[in-house]
Structure 1
Amino acid sequence: MATVFTRIITGELPGRFVYRDDTVAAFLSIGPVAWGHTLVVPIQEVDRWTEADPALWAHLTEVSRLIGQAMVKVTGAARAGLLIAGFEVPHLHIHVFGADDMSGYTLRAIDVSETEMDRATTELRAALRELGAGEYVPA
């Protein structure tokens, strides 16, 4: 049975995508710990990050780095937080979020309106285009 992330990637479930290529998709978390909180997910279903092919892992972390640069740009946060937990969905995913302190590392969701989710999607896409990833950023 397909994971919830596969269902989002295939369009069966809605998602606010900020990046997509042949092997990786990035979309906003529905349980954000900070405004713009994004999940970087391989299209291939891999459960644990320790089981990912090294080339896939390298690409996931490079895309996460790029998303992190965009995150800092649009949030003004001191840093981009990066976290891998993997207990809530058995499909490898990297959490990327703006961080000024350690509070986001608890993965406690905050309340973000649909309007703010849309704004985060738009601003992250624009920042990713400015960072040179335009061909992978949805219109």
Structure 2
Amino acid sequence: MASIFTKIINREIPGHIVLEDEHFIAFLDISPLVMGHTLVVPKKEVDYIFDNDDVTLSKTMVFAKKVARAIDKSIPCKRVGVAVIGLEVPHTHVHLVPLNSMRDINFLEPKLHPTQEELAATAAKIKAAL
């Protein structure tokens, strides 16, 4: 069965996409730790990040770097944190989280529940910085 990320990639469900190419996609987390929390996902559905081939693994981080630079320019933060957990959705994904404190990347903290309009505005800011 296709992951929720594959459904976003295939446009079966909506996503607030900030960047996409032939092999990767980046979109906002709908339950972010902080506003601007973005997921970078290879389009090929592989569950565990280290099961990706070396080229995909390295290109995932290069793609994430482009997105992180745009987040850094568009969302007030000290830096952009990176996390790979991989337990919640069985599809490789890298979390990019705008950080002002260590608490901002604590996945045990309550998540935000932004409106679709807030997500769309945040996505537009990040896209404009690319």
TM-score bucket of the superposed structures, by smaller chain: over 0.9
- Bigger share in helix: 1
Tell me, in whole angstroms, the C-alpha distance in 1 between the residues paired with 2:102 and 2:56: 28
In structure 2, C-alpha distance between the alignment counterparts of 1:44 and 1:111, rounded to whole Å: 28
Which amino acid is the alignment partner of residue 77 of structure 1?
Answer: C
Counterpart-to-counterpart distance in 1, 2:88 and 2:51: 17
Distance 1:8 1:87 in 2: 18
SS of the residue 1:89 aligns to: coil
Contact 2:36 2:122 in 1 (8 A): yes
Q: Percent identity?
A: 34
CA offsets 1:107-134 (integer angstroms, 9 cap, x no match)? 2412322222111110111101xxxxxx
CA distance, structure 1, for counterparts of residue 75 and residue 67 of structure 2: 12
> Which residues in structure 2 correspond to 1:1-139 (within 5 Å)?
1-107=1-107, 108=109, 109-128=111-130
CA RMSD between the two structures? 1.0
Q: Tell me if structure 1 keeps the 8 A contact 2:9–2:43.
A: yes
Structure 2 match to 1:131: none
Unpaired runs of 5+ in structure 1?
A: 129-139
Q: Deviations over 1:2-58 (max 9, x none)?
A: 111001110001111111111101111111011111100000001111111111111
**How far is 1:106 from its partner?**
1.6
| Structure 2: stretches of 5+ with no match in the other structure | none
After superposition, the C-alpha distances for 1:67-123 in whole angstroms (9 at most, x for unaligned) are 111111111200001100110000000000210111122224123222221111101
| Alpha-carbon distance in structure 1 between the residues aligned to 2:102 and 2:64 | 19
* Aligned mates of 2:105, 2:44 — CA distance in 1: 26
Aligned partner letter, 1:116: E
Whole-angstrom CA distance in 2 between matches of 1:37 and 1:10: 21
